[in-house]
Structure 1
Amino acid sequence: MEKEKDKMEIKEELDTLEIQLARMQNNMKQIAKKSEVISIDRARDEQLVVIYADKKEDTFQLMLHDCNSSYRGKWHSAIQVEFKGDDTLHIADIKGEQNKGYGSVLMKHLKEMARDENVQYITGDIVERDFDHVHRLEYFYSKHNFDVQINHDEQHGAIIWNG
C-alpha cells in the first residue's frame, strides 16, 4: 500500500509541474510584451517563478510572478531600485507576498544584476513605517549579507551590501 501512495504522490507532483510549466510558458509570453524577462527560478517549496524587470533611466523595478496562477498584469512581489551614481543601487521599496521566499529570489537576482553591471554597493533605508516589522527586515537583510545598522530609539536605519 505504501508503494501505491508513493506512485500517487509522484503522479500528483508531475501533474502540478505540468500545469506550472504550461502557465510559465503563457506567463512569459504575456510578461515579455511589456517587460524584460530576466530569469526563471524556484522559490520556497520548489515553486516556479518568472523574474522580470521594467527599466528606466534612473530607476527600475525587479518583479516576480509565480507559475501557479495566470499572469494578468500584476506581480506577486517586487523590488523598486534607484541608481545612485555609477557604483550604487538604492532599494526604494520591497513589496508583495510574504513568507513565500519571493523576496529572497528577487534579492538574489538584484545582486546578480549589480555584479553584471559592475555596481559595487546596494543600499537602503529602514524608516519609521518599517518598525512594525523591523526584526523581520533585519533578519532578511542579514541573511543576504547586508550590513544592517538600526537605531531603535529614533526608528531609522540603513543597509549596505558591498559586492
Structure 2
Amino acid sequence: MTTSTLPKADRRDLQMLRMQQQVREIAKEEKKEVIGIEQIDDEEWVIVSKAQSNDTFQVMINQCSHPYQGTWDFVLEAEYQENHTLFIDDIKGEPCRGFGTICMNYLKEIAWKENCGIEGNIAKRDWGHVERLAHFYKKHSFDISLDVEQQNGRIRWFGQ
C-alpha cells in the first residue's frame, strides 16, 4: 500500500508524524530556524524555515507528504541591500503549488518588521513564463515594470 492509497485520516496522521520529525531535524541544523507551519489544502502541510548567512537568506518550504531528506522542496532566496531593501535573488521549485505565495508572505512579513522594501529583477531567462511571474507579483501587490524589447523587468514592493 502506497501513501496515496491510504485512507485520508491515515495520510493526515502520517503527515503529522513527519511534521514532528522534520521540525526536529530542521531545528538541529545550524543557521536554520523553523518560522511556520502552513496548510496547503485539506491534505497537505508544509514546514516553513529560514536560513541566514550574513546579508543573504532563504525562506524554504519542506513538504510533510514525504520524509525529510535534508534539502528544501521550494526556496525563495533574498539578500539585504542598502537603503532598507530586500532583493529577491531567485525563486526555485515547482510552480503553481502555493509554495511561492507562502514564501512571499513570510518575506513580506520579514520586510515589514524590518522596515524594508522588496525589489527584484525579471531576467531574460524568465521571459518564457513572464505572464505567470507578472500575475504572481501583482497578486502580492508589487509594482512591475517590463521591457518587452530587452526581455527583462523590475519588481518593487514598499509595504501595504
Question: So what's the TM-score if we normalise by structure 1?
Answer: 0.88
Aligned to 1:73: 70
Q: 1:151 to 1:68 in 2, by over 3 A?
A: same
Aligned length: 152
C-alpha separation in 2, matches of 1:42 and 1:103: 14
C-alpha separation in 2, matches of 1:86 and 1:72: 37
C-alpha separation in 2, matches of 1:93 and 1:141: 13
C-alpha separation in 1, matches of 2:22 and 2:111: 26
Contact 2:88/2:119 (<8 A) preserved: yes
Residue 45 of structure 1: CA displacement? 5.1
Aligned to 1:7: none
C-alpha separation in 2, matches of 1:159 and 1:44: 29
Q: 1:130 to 1:69 in 2, by over 3 A?
A: same
Contact 1:64/1:102 (<8 A) preserved: yes
Aligned match for 1:145, one of 136, 141, 146: 141
Residue 118 of structure 1: CA displacement? 2.2
C-alpha separation in 2, matches of 1:20 and 1:36: 20
Aligned match for 2:131, one of 131, 135, 138: 135
Contact 1:43/1:105 (<8 A) preserved: no
Residue 115 of structure 1: CA displacement? 1.3
| Residue identity in the other structure for 2:14 | I
Aligned to 1:50: 47
Aligned match for 2:118, one of 119, 122, 126: 122
Aligned to 1:111: 108
| Residue identity in the other structure for 2:67 | S
Q: Does 1:15 align with 2:10?
A: yes
- Long gaps (5+) in structure 1: 1-10
SS at match of 1:75: coil
Contact 1:44/1:101 (<8 A) preserved: no
Q: 1:16 to 1:38 in 2, by over 3 A?
A: same
- Select the structure of larger CA radius of gyration: 1
Q: Does 1:83 align with 2:80?
A: yes
Aligned match for 1:100, one of 82, 97, 100: 97
- Long gaps (5+) in structure 2: 1-5
C-alpha separation in 1, matches of 2:92 and 2:54: 21
- RMSD of aligned alpha carbons: 1.4
| Residue identity in the other structure for 2:48 | I
